[in-house]
Chain A
């Protein structure tokens, strides 16, 4: 170069420089994932088990991903209002949702608006047995007494929503002559208040979710739907001792839309895995009275969901 046109050189340098300055930023904006906050849909009201899980996980993986995870509580229709939100968002990895057993139940018999295959699971985070809980001063001391009364007259059971495992467990007893009447309360606060206020006699819950009520002696469990006794409540009856072997544990998975870039799914699943191994998360599982081996990584989560769906399909109440 012979100084023939210094201006041209300077200009091209300037252009090159500014392009260089801009290019990495642009490239970064394209390639970096997540490139903006990831919406974390909780298809249940704030304060419940799904909500608490999302908030825990959010705080654990936020630092890891370097982005925030705003939580959107979109309650209704046994979780399907929130799932609709997930499935109508673009599959760019910037929306994920909590997917729980009750919502899976609504897919049984292929009746849902979407299929299990429309979801890309990132992991099953927590599994807890469900149980019947009554107000601490309820007249029934044992499940036998409650069942005997349920055969004589109507007993109201607060459930999360129709079509889910909650209703199935209730229906199993009704098939044996009990008269339990399921009443849906989508918001956890309303569900707890219903049994504490005597508007429902029983509420189906997981021990961990109502722990504050158990610890403060406002509620007590009366039966659990599980193969093993509930940790901490070993003396409480199991449903299988009363002729109901159905035991669909409440699980809470994290899912994305199927069709999301597999690399993004893998990034997020790895973040989940890391969170699940943390001491903080393990303490959370213990606090929630959940199975210690709750966590199922993304690779095995799909088959697990399919297996649970088959179980629910087989036990669908015939109406």
Chain B
């Protein structure tokens, strides 16, 4: 009950005219930065930080928290409509959301993503308020072996993205992992694959691979089909569909998916260094390996959208828990929020719940309000945005290209990055044409550095004893899940092949 009255004071703090305006500004700004690939959520929060110096503590935290929450949604729109992931966490939305959009169900796909964000966000907010202290303990239970196991699980979801050939998917994944190693290595600082080129020393950012291979690659693919409007193509978002939202019965049918991925989002969000992107990949991987409708995943199944989006949104509440309860920032965005606390002379940690309880609960209240506000904003955005798809494809594509370049340029102010994007656009096109899936390539570049650093640090910490990955209960458990998920389709494929060849031999002639 004490919690409820504290939360009520939090809402009272929030519902002043000034703070509500700040909240609305944060929601809109977060949505905008997330829509632009390259202007990532973290960068958006960083850009907003200087504006908070002159504000009071409460509005400053409301602004940044609101941006953080709505920043996890905006990228869904571009991923589903144009196949440009606005944020790395939106990559899994392409796999099902864009497929749905191609079928003419863009509005419905966006509707599902909104429902997913709403459920994931609200549930994680409730968990955050009720269980902040016990949940914070999860952050401490995870060390590098566990973290490696989580990332490995995310990489293992490659099996479901393999399309027609598992070998090609794994090759694509390896290429992604190798691209991620270019530049100065994280642990020892050695130059790798730089060939004496200064621009390679900086490394190849996953952003460039992601935007190039998906955004530009898709434009080239469409160009090669002559922009012939694909039948029932992405251009009929508004025409055929009156309602954008799934029915309650449909939502209820996916309750297991909602529960699984929201829980994943909260837990992974709590772990320092993981955040929304890893949550989305892991939840998608879980869905693809254990979901009821796993066979349809990747071909436009709402489960894929729900898994990725509710996990990404749920990770927000998760990441705020160790920040507030222990002063440990779990992700880039929470680190900036920590900085905002510190700049106003407040040290998050156990004592903050006592010394500044009102402020903590204002942050909690902001998360609730921001999740709801973000969904309202998104709801009104769906219809006009789907209309964009009715514009001629050639024009939309031209804007997509410029959008990709501007976003990537904004990220690093580096003109040579544009060449890299264009090159990955061509690579993405060739990959699609020759039966290599793009998804594992992008997955590898995003998760590769996390996998390697945690692997190497574990090796250092445990004297090159690789068995710790299996003997530590949490990492062993996660790896067992991943292995089971990997082994099952392999076994199925082998069985099918044996079966088929036997049948072929039985055939007369």
Contacts and interface: CB of A to CB of B under 8 A. Distances in A.
Query: A–B direct touch, CB within 8 Å, in complex?
Result: yes
A81 B182 CA distance: 12
A231 interface: no
Residue among A52, A162, A212 with most chain B CB within 10 A? A212
B332 interface: yes
Interface string A169-202: 0000000000001111111111011101111100
A76 B186 contact: yes
Nearest to A95: B413
Contacts of A59: 50, 53, 343
Nearest to B454: A190
A200 B287 CA distance: 34
Interface string B109-153: 000000000000000000000000000000111111000000000
A189 B272 contact: yes
B390 interface: no
A215 B351 contact: yes
Interface in A199-252: 199-200, 211-213, 215-216, 218
Interface stretch (B156-164, B195-203, B241-249, B494-502): B195-203
A137 B353 CA distance: 21
Contact of B461 (A45, A47, A52, A181): A181
Nearest to A54: B339
Contacts of A56: 343
A51 interface: yes
Interface string B332-368: 1001101100110001111100000000000000000
Interface stretch (A65-73, A260-268, A299-307): A65-73
A3 to B, nearest CB: 52
A212 B184 contact: no
Contacts of B272: 187, 189-190, 193
Contact of A46 (B53, B336, B460): B336
B198 A88 contact: yes
A131 interface: no
Contacts of A197: 139-143
Q: Count chain A CB atoms within 10 A of each CB in B46, B141, B184, B273 and give the residue with the most.
A: B184
Given A46-B339, A197-B139, A162 B188 contact: yes
A165 interface: no
Contacts of B453: 186
A59 B191 CA distance: 34
Given A46-B332, A162-B187, A184-B457, A84 B348 contact: no
B413 A85 contact: no
B184 A81 contact: yes
Nearest to A73: B332
Contacts of B375: none
A88 B42 CA distance: 23
Given A70-B46, A181-B460, A193-B140, 16 more contacts: A46-B329, A46-B335, A47-B335, A71-B46, A73-B332, A76-B186, A162-B187, A162-B189, A182-B460, A183-B461, A189-B273, A193-B272, A193-B328, A212-B327, A215-B349, A216-B347
Interface of B: 42, 46-47, 49-50, 53, 139-144, 183-189, 191, 198-199, 201-203, 272-273, 322, 326-330, 332, 335-336, 338-339, 342-343, 347-351, 413, 453, 457, 460-461, 463
